[in-house]
Structure 1
């Protein structure tokens, strides 16, 4: 992770990036940004959109829901779990590790 003066990833701009269950069939990830500037960058549909999340997580873009909450500097992203929670092929029952690719997402070069 880089210092705050030269952020390189989404995690560098965030207070917290986390993922969790949203019921047995959905995952929700939350980006709690440090300030309005960081929020403006990650909330920008030109940077963070359904096709990007689809590539990161291997889910259909049309199944992804993105909620931008400017009053809280928060972006929430939800998508269907690849397998039902607790099923035989479920490798992360709490969905607690799904946030890592999003947190490590490089920021645009212009930032």
Structure 2
């Protein structure tokens, strides 16, 4: 199976304010974007399972001109809370690297 990291030139995560995390998934070209941007591994349900979010709250925004998808979800706890392990959400993308795509 193809992994997400094999078809992207950049995958990053970051804060989208103190209550949201956002991912920018840049595919390595329009062909792979067209083939994989709607893959089940990148669905709201998959993000909900992987990050403990509510699927109905996951937002997916494909940006065709940039061959990328922006996916955001609300944090389970606000930024800077007592249990914070990644203040800027910069490491949240790591589990996505090995996401297997059905294509």
| Shorter-chain TM-score above 0.5 | yes
If asked which structure has higher relative contact order (CA below 8 Å, sep 6+), I would say: 2
**2:1 matched to 1:10?**
no
| Higher helix proportion (structure 1 or 2) | 2
Equivalence map 1:66-81=2 (5 Å): 66-81=60-75
- Following the alignment from structure 1 to structure 2, what is the Cα–Cα distance between the partners of residues 11 and 89? 29
**2:15 matched to 1:31?**
no
- In the alignment, which of 38, 56, 60 is matched to residue 62 of structure 1? 56
Normalised by the length of structure 2, the TM-score is 0.91
| Higher strand proportion (structure 1 or 2) | 2
Tell me what 1:107 maps to: 101
The count of corresponding residues between Structure 1 and Structure 2 is 103
**Which ranges of structure 2 fall in alignment gaps of 5 or more residues?**
none
- CA deviations over 1:48-90 (Å, ceiling 9, x no partner): 2111111111111001000001111010000011111111111
Give runs of ≥4 in structure 1 deviating > 2 Å. Answer: 45-48
- Following the alignment from structure 1 to structure 2, what is the Cα–Cα distance between the partners of residues 32 and 39? 8
- Following the alignment from structure 2 to structure 1, what is the Cα–Cα distance between the partners of residues 78 and 3? 30
The answer to whether the 8 A contact 2:14-2:88 is kept is: yes
- Following the alignment from structure 1 to structure 2, what is the Cα–Cα distance between the partners of residues 36 and 96? 26
Using the TM superposition, give the Cα deviation of residue 45 of structure 1 relative to its aligned residue in structure 2, in angstroms: 5.4
Tell me what 2:86 maps to: 92
Q: What's the RMSD between the two structures over aligned residues? A: 1.5
